[in-house]
Amino acid sequence: MQGSHRAPSGVKMQPEQGQDEVIALLSDPRAYSPAPPRVERIDTHGAIIFLAGDRAYKIKRAVRLPYLDFSTLARRRAACEREIEINRLTAPDMYLGTIAIVRNSNGALQLGGEGDPVEWVVEMMRFDQSDLLDVMAREGRLSSDLMIPLTDHIAGYHKRAPVIRNAGGAETISRVVAQAALAFSKSGNRLDADDVQDFTRASREMAHSLAGLLDRRAAGGYVRRCHGDLHLGNIVLLEGKPTLFDAIEFDERLASIDILYDLAFLLMDLWMRGYKRHANIVLNRYLAGDRGEDGNIAGLAALPLFLSCRAGVRAMVMLDRLPHIADAEAEKALADLKAYFDSARRFLEPPRPRLIAAGGLSGTGKSTLAGALAPYIGAAPGALWLRSDVERKKMFDVGIEERLSEAAYTPEVTRRIYEILNEKARTALEAGRSVILDAVFSTERERRAASRVARETQVPFTGLWLSAPAEQMIARVRSRTGDASDADAAVVRRQLEYDTGEIDWHIIDAGSSPGAVLAAAAEITGVEPDGL
């Protein structure tokens, strides 16, 4: 078990005044029953965690920071109780309850029992640190396949979260921007003064330009009681399932936020660690599961600011930690601070959006190509990937991998699917988000409609047409499992009889390996995917 922001390995932050005796107690194996062989300690900017046997015990630091106040015993007790309440929503078996540290009749401190409380502790079940997603990321063990159940877990959490009215709109984000600007202005010589000034100006201008959108999203129910601290260090595999824990408990304002702002912390964390494909999968899976009116697509206009704010928050946390970190670790901590700050600046400068369409008969590998290209197209964390197969499942309100009947594939339904794809692409492009359209595009009318969306939104357009031998296409659809596509060998054979008309898109030989197809598409589109 661990908290949100760990101190570097082997480095202990300074004990807070008045908590030395409590820290000494919880560091002693004899304080626990049964006594563990040893007690391990993890420090964060707001808490200290003691790992003892199969349990973890967390105390709040007696600190007051710009964004939290644990300065009194009453505040720390309330925070401990709220932590249990909030986190049992996602990890009920992990959060066991609160325990008082009391001074007994002999004047000594003890964990639990009779006496006057001097501190409060959150008791938790301990888990293997190697199962934390941030550890898995550092060790290169974070599978992209895990992003699907993780995103579904987050989406379900957001769907159940209470809607918060009169909070979380433009005022909330403006407050974060102001806090970051103030913190960076007081960073001394740690950050370049001109860069801080540029960041402050750009972030304030973007927050101002998005104020109307943010307030409309708040009024529309997109502000909810979220996790608030949704990065890889607060997600763990429990029994093989990604589980959220350590949600913000100390300030309802920090957790009563736009759901895309909550998601942005995870997206930023993955992106900065170099897991671009993972971040893009999370974004697209989250939006693909949206069964509402797709207001989150229009909300993507705020994502660059959300990502910047999240990177800025981590930079502020690094500033708070620097005074407590040993000299041996100060150089790395300063480098982390600058990396977060530089990313916060870059997120505010998204590239111009563009539209790419990937077409071809079933089994040519267009979805494989679209998924591989998407992380490297446009602003972080990559392009919105719109699949006709996914939109069809949403139209009939079934799971993405659930098979549909023939009634879902009439010409009328298919025409409507292409209309939906183009409508969503238009919305995303107008929000500044690049888009990859993934559909068969078997008719000239369908292909012209896609290029028209790009022309009318004044963005560059690239059409890619994938072609492969019939036997290979049939073999590919037969080998699919757990995919949104319902195409089988019979569907491919019918498509082979289509009159596709003149194809004026870039034609790619898709009979070779996925890597070769990606390389060909990358050369056409001018992007540089990792590993090529």
User: What structural domains and CATH numbers belong to the chain?
Assistant: 20-126 (3.30.200), 133-347 (3.90.1200.10), 355-525 (3.40.50.300)
Interatomic CA distance for residues 32 and 37, integer angstroms: 11
Give pLDDT, residue 44: 80
Which pair of structure tokens corresponds to residue 22? 């409590």
Segments of 126-278 assigned E as strands = 223-225, 235-238, 241-244, 256-258
pLDDT at 4: 38
What does the angle CA 442 – CA 429 – CA 514 come to, to the nearest 5 degrees? Answer: 50
pLDDT, one tens digit for every residue, the chain (532 residues): 433 334 333 334 444 447 999 999 999 999 999 999 999 999 887 899 999 999 999 999 998 887 789 999 999 999 999 999 999 999 999 999 999 999 998 999 999 999 999 999 999 999 999 999 999 999 999 999 999 999 999 999 999 999 998 888 999 999 999 999 999 999 988 999 999 999 999 999 999 999 999 999 999 999 999 999 999 999 999 999 999 999 999 989 899 999 999 999 999 999 999 999 999 999 999 999 876 556 899 999 999 999 999 999 999 988 877 876 777 788 888 999 999 999 999 999 999 999 999 999 999 999 999 999 999 999 999 999 999 999 999 999 998 889 999 999 999 999 999 999 999 999 999 999 999 999 999 999 999 999 999 999 999 999 999 999 999 999 999 998 888 899 999 999 999 999 999 999 999 999 999 999 999 999 999 999 987 7
Q: What is the structure's pLDDT at 220? A: 93
Q: Which two tokens stand for residue 258?
A: 């736009």
At what angle are helices 147-160 and 276-288 packed, to 10 degrees?
40
Q: How far is CA 346 from CA 279, 308, 351, 509, in A?
A: 17, 8, 10, 36
List C-alpha distances in Å: 269 to 108, 263, 274, 406: 44, 10, 9, 42
> How far is the C-alpha of 105 from the C-alpha of 294, rounded, in Å?
62
In the numeric block, which tokens belong to residue 356?
Answer: 């790419």
Reported as half-sphere exposure (CB side, CA atoms, 13 A), residue 352 has a value of 7
pLDDT score recorded for residue 66:
74
467-474 long-range contacts, Cβ below 8 Å, gap at least 24? Answer: 467/360, 467/364, 467/507, 467/508, 467/509, 467/510, 467/511, 468/360, 468/363, 468/364, 468/365, 468/509, 468/510, 468/511, 469/511, 470/496, 472/363, 472/511, 473/361, 473/362, 473/363, 473/364, 474/363
Closest by alpha carbon to 479, among 362, 374, 372, 359?
Answer: 362
Indicate the DSSP class of residue 132. B
**What is the identity of the amino acid at 529?**
P
Distances (CA, A) of 64 to 16, 57, 152, 238, 461: 11, 21, 36, 33, 52
Check: CB of residue 257 under 8 Å from CB of residue 223: yes
Q: How far is it, in rounded angstroms, from Cα 473 to Cα 464?
A: 17
The sheet that has 55-60: what strands, in order across it? 39-43, 47-52, 55-60, 116-125, 95-103, 109-111
pLDDT given at position 330:
82
**Among residues 103, 82, 78, which one has the least CA distance to residue 22?**
103
b/e map of 53-71 (b: 16 or more CB within 10 Å)? eeebbbbbbbbeeebbebe
Q: Residue 497 and residue 113: Cα distance in Å, rounded?
A: 80
Distance of CA 24 to the CA centre of its chain: 37
